Amino acid sequence: MKPKFLYFFFFIISINCTKPTNSDAFIENVTGRYLYDSDQVIEVYFKDKVLLLTWKGIKDIKPMKFDDDIFFVKEMNEKITFKTNPQDQKEYLVLLPKEEGAEITFNFKKLEKNELTPSEYLANDNFEEALAGYIAIQQKDSLNIAVNENEMNAIGYYHLGRNEIPKAINVLKINAVLHPKSDNVFDSLGEAYLKSGDTLQAIVNYKKALAIDSGNRRAKNVVEKFDKK
């Protein structure tokens, strides 16, 4: 048997001989939700003491166990482990460095029991917490997709199209706070208010759009239409 095949054979044997279950203490310590990419989570949970993940909408991902606390996640093409960050004493899901001897980065912090991401707060109609979360993301990374003006506008129009007008207004209000120099966000907010029947707030926001860009034709047409009445 050639050495490389022999190595592969013993590698497979070693994996298969690893106990798939995990200790009660380990399960209690690592079960939870870990913040991934600012506004997404990796959920870590167990079934029959076997570690499973939900990530990017994929449920029941079953990592391959290498050691007591080291796993390989083929969907990520990463080895992961769980460690306490000495700087903040918080638990993290950690991607193990691919290069031997490289410094460990504490990648994904475990969320508190009732802590949600901004998009989750938004889904639950908790707009104040959602706004605070989005502002924090923007302050840290203004180019993050979670606070992208067009993406947020699309969410607002999604709810507007479903006739979920109060939710659409709140989403577009968040976008206006995040992007106060954009005529488009106030134009969209004006449209949502107009659809709600609140003409006064619609005009207020269309005028804000015109103050930013006097060439905004839709805003100008709406304002002129109601000024004539």
Distance CA 93, CA 180 (A): 36
Print pLDDT tens along the chain (229 aa): 445 544 444 444 454 444 567 899 999 999 999 999 889 999 999 999 999 999 999 999 999 998 889 999 999 999 999 999 999 999 999 999 988 889 999 999 999 999 999 999 999 999 999 999 999 999 999 999 999 999 999 999 999 999 999 999 999 999 999 999 999 999 999 999 999 999 999 999 999 999 999 999 889 888 888 776 6
User: Domain boundaries in the chain?
Assistant: 3-109, 118-227
Domain spanning 118-227, CATH class: mainly alpha
Exposed, middle or buried by CB within 10 Å (0-12, 13-18, 19+), for 25? exposed
CA distances from 179 to 135, 148, 182 (A): 10, 9, 6
Q: Which amino acid is at 107?
A: N
